Structure 1
């Protein structure tokens, strides 16, 4: 059982929040997370990374009991080795979303994540500005939208990502697709009803934890749904997007200064 006065479950974003700018997680952070888990508090990784990057997620947050991947569309129970949620966006719906967006903002560079196996390639338009190592398999828009996808990435040649997200929020019906952005200069297009809040709800329902007992950490607009959902506390790192800082209960140190671990260390020491 979790200690009285502490959350029963902690969920943290990875890139820009737990993971530092050099793509590493400090030994101090790993040690603090192990102490959190030893205190009886479940730990969840809540990330935009898709299932193709599950092994990297496990490396970055070794203490995690659950993985909430692909902005909430895929949920894995680490202890039981079970897939609790897997969602797909029909290709025809993605094609309509892209068509509607391009009618408003002009041409888009698009990549799709359609395969869940380890280190699977992305399909679509090669983008030299993509900051992470990835294999991009060139495919036409029609080929990318033939079948279902886990999610899609769309970048505008003329508009800032926040402006593109604002347009997508206005244009894309929520019953067709969910839209967000995670700091990669891309808007991410996911299946309807998919976000980190609904992904975490799958976890808490499985383990019998109330959202009021959940503490979350994040840095970007894709973390807004879990900030709205969690009740124990919502903590942004100091380097967070203004939208997240505006709704955070507290602000901790930046990711490069191990802000999540520093906050949790103090929490355990109360």
Structure 2
């Protein structure tokens, strides 16, 4: 058990928060996270990355006890290959949703993530300015949406991502799909009731931790649901989106300055 005055569980976003702009995690950050775990505090990596990137995610946060993937749709205990949560969105529902959204904002470029095995390709049309290495298997939209998917990515040539997100939330009811953005110039469309807050709730229930004992770190709008859910402290990194900075209790250093690790190092030293 952690000593009094410390959280019982720490959840951190990865890209833009724990992971630096060069896609690396420093040795200092790994060392601090090892000390956090040794202090009896459970660690959760909470990311938009889908289960196809679980190996990379485990490498970036080696001390994690749990992984919350796909914005909360897939949840793993790292000691068990069977997911605690595995959510999918109906392809036909997604097709109708996209039709309604395009009627409002115009044409969209769409990719879907349908497969969970390591290194699985995305399907559809590669979105412009995608910054990460990924294999995109070109498919028609009808082919992509013939079955259920983990999530979809959509971008517009005429709308900024924040404007597209706002427009999508006006068009798409929350009971149909959960929509967010994680800094990739695309909105991400997930099953309903899927976000990092509901994903963390699965972990908290599994280990018997109250949200009041959870500390979270983040940088983008997809982190806001876990900021709303956690109660111990909500910490944004200095490079965070304005909405996340506004929702934070504290602001740590930027991801490129190992802000999460510096904050946790100080916390352990109190």
**Fold match (TM-score > 0.5):** yes
Distance 2:83 2:126 in 1: 31
- What whole-Å deviation, never above 9, does each CA across 1:89-143 have from its counterpart, x for those lacking one? 0001111111111011100000000000001000000235110000000001101
3-state SS of 1:67 partner: strand
3-state SS of 2:43 partner: strand
Partner residue, 2:13: 13
Partner residue, 1:183: 183
3-state SS of 1:100 partner: helix
The TM-score, its normalising length taken from structure 1, stands at: 0.99
Partner residue, 1:39: 39
Matches within 5 A, 1:83-162: 83-162=83-162
> What are structure 2's unaligned runs of at least 5 residues?
none
- What whole-Å deviation, never above 9, does each CA across 1:1-34 have from its counterpart, x for those lacking one? 1111000000000000000000000000000000
Conserved 8 A contact 2:127-2:154: no
Partner residue, 1:262: 262
Alignment RMSD = 0.7
3-state SS of 1:228 partner: helix
Distance 2:110 2:152 in 1: 7
Distance 2:173 2:92 in 1: 14
- What whole-Å deviation, never above 9, does each CA across 1:23-65 have from its counterpart, x for those lacking one? 0000000000000000000000000000000000000000000
Distance 1:34 1:180 in 2: 31
Distance 1:43 1:154 in 2: 31
3-state SS of 1:40 partner: coil
In the TM superposition, residue 66 of structure 1 has moved relative to its aligned partner by 0.2
Distance 1:96 1:207 in 2: 38
Distance 2:47 2:226 in 1: 11
Over 6 Å off, 4+ runs:
none
Conserved 8 A contact 2:67-2:75: yes
Distance 2:138 2:35 in 1: 45
1:2 aligns with 2:2: yes
Distance 1:118 1:160 in 2: 31
Distance 2:262 2:96 in 1: 45
Partner residue, 2:209: 209
In the TM superposition, residue 83 of structure 1 has moved relative to its aligned partner by 1.2
Partner residue, 1:79: 79
Distance 1:99 1:144, change over 3 A: same
The TM-score, its normalising length taken from structure 2, stands at: 0.99
Distance 2:177 2:107 in 1: 19
In the TM superposition, residue 180 of structure 1 has moved relative to its aligned partner by 0.1
- What whole-Å deviation, never above 9, does each CA across 1:217-243 have from its counterpart, x for those lacking one? 000000000000000000000000001
Partner residue, 1:62: 62
Distance 1:92 1:81 in 2: 29
